[in-house]
């Protein structure tokens, strides 16, 4: 009796099996992050990207648009200044040039593009004015939420931490246990 | 059976009637109305003010399982306290863990699933959270 294990085929099949596991991890992360977001806009602005498997490395990403970023890191004076992309944003044309701190302030007169990519025109009447204070005082009537600061939810960061703590090992265990290893065992009779 | 409303109600009952949790939250002897406002069944924390302590009990997404007949359901419990009282949050979550771990709620056994440490909360506040899991069935 001879027992052979076709390791090459098994590893290849296990890699595609792991792609499914990584997809499950990605969806769990996405759902956990969406659940932790504090705004419906942020929740809808978070997506699962396609899975890439190349050179033995399987990569899954979740990406967020501007609403998700605002939810994750907050906005105005309450935003988390440790956002790794904040410096890039502050040096981009989307940032209000008269906004020297994190407080939401009026823009200078003229057209501008906001963080959501929308073209707007400012009259310049509130240039440099602390709009958060006006919004809190009830002096802004329209779209008041646009001018209120917001706490960061850190929903994505927290979802990743929970994953590392609680779920990643479980997913891997499940992947190993549910893989049909026996299919790659070949048992044959051998004659003397 | 899948019954999130009653599962959450029973879990909330256990937590909000536990003497150690109430003591850690500073709610011993308080009227039920005050307890209902401080121990809530959702994750809302953006309106925290006036050095209020708050315990949030809520569902997070179910986990996938090998067997589709059983779903691991996840419950998160976050304790928000004023920043200066950060250690109180750990005292509260310890009391919550003691009140819920291996207890039955609506016919399901609740199991401790770990703590993550500091979580996001309102400015001037500190938050620590723990999770529990239980197995629901369709």
Q: What is the pLDDT of residues A37-63, one digit of tens each?
A: 989 999 999 999 888 888 788 899 999
pLDDT at A72: 94
User: What pLDDT does B15 receive?
Assistant: 96
Question: Which residues, other chains included, contact A33 with Cβ-Cβ below 8 Å and sequence gap of 6+?
Answer: A46, A62, A155, A156, A158, A159
* Count of domains for chain B: 1
* ipTM field: 0.75
Instruction: Say which residue, A191 or B87, is predicted with more confidence.
Output: B87
**pLDDT score recorded for residue A55:** 78
| Averaged pLDDT, B8-21 | 96
Biggest distance spanned by C-alpha atoms of chain B = 47
B53-70 residue pLDDT tens: 999 999 998 887 777 778
Q: Does B64 touch chain A (CB under 8 A)?
A: yes
Assign residue B37 the CATH number of its domain: 3.30.2000.10
Which of B47, B76, B120 to mutate to test binding with chain A, by most A CBs within 10 Å of its CB?
B120
Q: Alpha carbon of A118 to those of A65, A115, A135, A159, B92: distances in Å? A: 13, 7, 21, 30, 46
d(CA A94, CA A32): 30
Strand pairing of B125-137 and A57-59?
Answer: unpaired
* Chain-centroid distance, C-alpha A42: 10
Q: How far is A98 from chain B (nearest CA, A)?
A: 25
Q: Which two tokens stand for residue B47?
A: 């309106």
Domain of B46 in residue numbering reads as 4-137
**From the CA of B13, how many Å to the nearest CA of chain A?**
23
The answer to whether B105 touches B11, Cβ cutoff 8 Å, is yes
**B119 — contact with chain A (CB < 8 Å)?**
yes
- The residue of chain B nearest to residue A173, with distances taken between CA atoms, is B66
Give CA separation, A61 vs A29, A49, A58, A72, B61, in Å. Answer: 10, 5, 10, 16, 19
For residue A44, what pLDDT is reported? 93
3-state helix, strand and coil shares in percent for chain A, rounded to the nearest 5: 45, 20, 35
pLDDT digits (tens, 9 = 90+) for A120-174: 899 888 899 999 998 888 888 888 888 899 889 999 999 999 888 878 888 888 8
Tell if the CB–CB gap between B60 and A24 is shorter than 8 Å: no
Confidence of residue B138 (pLDDT cuts 50, 70, 90): low
Q: Do A177 and B66 touch (CB under 8 A)?
A: yes
Contact A161 B63 (CB under 8 A): no
């Amino acid at each position: 009796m001879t027992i052979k294990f076709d390791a090459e085929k098994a590893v290849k099949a296990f890699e595609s099996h792991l792609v499914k596991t990584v997809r499950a991890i990605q969806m769990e992360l996405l759902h956990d992050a969406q659940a932790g977001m504090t705004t419906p806009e942020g929740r809808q602005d978070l997506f699962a990207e396609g899975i890439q498997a190349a050179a033995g490395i399987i990569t899954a990403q979740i990406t967020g648009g501007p609403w998700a970023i605002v939810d994750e890191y907050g906005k105005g004076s309450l935003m988390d200044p440790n956002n790794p992309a904040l410096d890039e944003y502050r040096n981009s044309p989307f940032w209000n040039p008269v906004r020297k701190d994190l407080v939401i302030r009026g823009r200078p007169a003229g057209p501008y593009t906001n963080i959501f990519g929308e073209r707007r025109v400012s009259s310049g009447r509130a240039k440099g004015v602390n709009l958060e204070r006006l919004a809190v005082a009830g002096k802004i009537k329209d779209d008041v939420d646009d001018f209120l600061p917001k706490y960061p939810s850190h929903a994505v960061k927290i979802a990743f931490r929970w994953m590392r703590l609680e779920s990643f090992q479980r997913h891997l265990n499940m992947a190993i246990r549910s893989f049909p290893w026996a299919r790659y065992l070949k048992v044959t009779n051998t004659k003397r | 059976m899948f019954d999130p409303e009653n599962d959450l109600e029973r879990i909330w009952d256990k937590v909000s009637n536990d003497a150690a949790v109430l003591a850690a939250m500073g709610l011993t002897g308080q009227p039920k109305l005050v307890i209902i406002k401080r121990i809530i069944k959702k994750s809302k924390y953006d309106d925290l003010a006036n050095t209020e302590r708050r315990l949030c009990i809520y569902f997070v997404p179910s986990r996938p399982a090998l067997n589709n007949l059983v779903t691991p359901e996840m419950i998160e419990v976050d304790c928000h306290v004023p920043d200066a009282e950060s250690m109180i949050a750990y005292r509260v979550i310890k009391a919550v863990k003691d009140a819920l771990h291996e207890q039955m709620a609506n016919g399901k056994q609740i199991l401790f699933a770990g703590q993550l440490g500091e979580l996001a909360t309102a400015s001037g506040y500190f938050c620590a959270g723990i999770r529990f899991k239980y197995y629901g069935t369709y």
